[in-house]
Amino acid sequence: MQLQDILYSQGFGTRRVCAGLIQQGLVTVSGEVVSEADRSFDPSGLNFTVQGVAWTYHQPAYLMLYKPAGTECSQKPSTYPSIYTLLPSPLRLRPQKGPVQGVQAVGRLDQDTTGLLLLTDDGKFIHRLSSPKHHVPKVYDVTTKHPVNVGQIERLLSGVVLDDDPHPVRAAACEATGTHQLRLTLTEGKYHQVKRMVAAVSNRVDGLHRSRIGELSLPPDMSPGQWRWLRPEDLRAVGYAAAR
* Helix and strand numbers, DSSP H then E, in the chain: 7, 15
Do residue 186 and residue 66 come from a single domain? no
110 is an active site residue: yes
Q: Is 109 helix (H, G, I), strand (E, B) or coil?
A: coil
Confidence of residue 99 (pLDDT cuts 50, 70, 90): confident
Give all strands (DSSP E) within 80-159, no chain letters.
104-105, 114-120, 138-144
pLDDT of residue 207: 97
pLDDT, tens digit, for every residue of 31-90?
999 999 999 999 999 999 999 999 999 999 999 999 999 999 998 999 999 999 999 999
Among 40-54, 92-106, 227-241, the range scoring the smallest mean pLDDT is: 92-106
Same domain, 203 and 221: no
Domain that holds residue 228: 62-132+216-237
Q: Which residue has the higher pLDDT, 163 or 110?
A: 110
The pLDDT > 90 percentage for the chain reads 86
Confidence of residue 131 (pLDDT cuts 50, 70, 90): confident
Same domain, 46 and 158: no
* Sequence-ordered strand ranges (E) for the chain: 27-29, 32-33, 47-50, 53-56, 62-67, 104-105, 114-120, 138-144, 160-162, 165-169, 173-178, 181-186, 205-213, 216-217, 227-229
Q: Where residue 202 sits, what CATH number does that domain have?
A: 3.30.70.1560
Is 244 a member of any domain? no
- In the chain, the number of structural domains is 3
Q: Same structural domain for residues 200 and 172?
A: yes
123 and 142 part of one domain: no
Q: What's the confidence (pLDDT) of residue 163? A: 83
The answer to whether residue 242 is domain-embedded is no
Out of 5, 110, 122, 234, the active site residue is 110
User: What integer pLDDT is reported at residue 243 of this predicted model?
Assistant: 46
Residues 209 and 143 in one domain: yes
Contact 1, 42 (CB under 8 A): yes
216 pairs with which residues across the strands?
213
Given this model, what pLDDT does residue 166 score?
A: 82
Alpha carbons within 13 A on the beta-carbon side of 28:
9
Give residue 221's pLDDT: 95
Buried-state track 82-95, b at ≥16 Cβ within 10 A, e below 16: bbbebbeebbebbe
Residue 190, domain member (yes or no): yes
What tens digit of pLDDT does each residue of 174-222 get? Answer: 999 999 999 999 998 788 899 999 999 999 999 999 999 999 999 999 9
Mean pLDDT of 100-112: 92
